[in-house]
Chains A and B, each alone.
Chain A
């Protein structure tokens, strides 16, 4: 069973802090990963994708991929209360079929 694992949380951080979200995967076959944000009662929206080993930055978000250790992380700098949501990690396999983790609930407290 190819799995993507995330800590369900909640992860609580104060406003302005760095939130660190982690994801591990078991399938070494695919190296395409996606982070989605999902607000309660809403559908997932794409935040970032990462395909290469290392870091990828986009505004306040940085995705990190470590193929050797089989983990992906998402850092959110200067966290805002509006960042409070569930963050979903997904791995793409052949035919772009996504396997999702269970999500980590982030709470940013003012």
Chain B
């Protein structure tokens, strides 16, 4: 595997389900990110982890719970979601967010549908 991978690629869940999204980066990067992309809206940053420490929570509802066990893996735990949470969830990674020139590379995304 190369780059940034995400599983599953598609997920359909009910409002009472609990599911998790997984992201893995094979680039040796130190920072990982979760973004949400809804139809007709710009990409929205949700969470940032730098060296496994969460450095940003962009006012995300508590029904989204991130976990970063190491610099290569990032999870997004989902519970009691709403239909409006249906979106493409993108993971990204970068080398060093302290650098102004740091570049983020995106995974393929998980298309989530909440029924």
Chain A-chain B contacts (Cβ-Cβ < 8 Å), number: 63
The reply to whether the CB of B60 lies closer than 8 angstroms to some CB of chain A is no
Interface residues of A: mostly helix, strand, loop or mixed?
Answer: strand
Q: Do A102 and B100 touch (CB < 8 A)?
A: no
A1 to chain B: which residues have CB within 8 Å?
none
Q: How many residues of A contact B (CB 8 A)?
A: 25
Q: How many residues of B contact A (CB 8 A)?
A: 27
Contact with B along A28-56 (1 / 0, CB 8 A): 00111010100000111110010100000
Q: Do A102 and B41 touch (CB < 8 A)?
A: yes
Q: Do B42 and A49 touch (CB < 8 A)?
A: no
Q: Give the distance in Å from the alpha carbon of A99 to the alpha carbon of B111 in the complex.
A: 21
Interface residues of B: mostly helix, strand, loop or mixed?
Answer: loop
Known: A49-B101, A95-B55, A96-B104. A43 touches B90 (CB 8 A): yes
The 7 closest A-B pairs by CB, nearest first: A96-B97, A100-B43, A43-B106, A96-B102, A100-B42, A102-B42, A43-B109
Q: Can you spell out 16 A-B residue pairs with CB atoms less than 8 angstroms apart?
A: A42-B109, A43-B90, A45-B106, A51-B101, A88-B43, A90-B43, A95-B48, A95-B50, A95-B56, A95-B97, A96-B98, A96-B100, A97-B48, A97-B97, A98-B45, A101-B42
A interface residues (Cβ-Cβ under 8 A, vs B)? 4, 30-32, 34, 36, 42-46, 49, 51, 88, 90, 92, 95-103
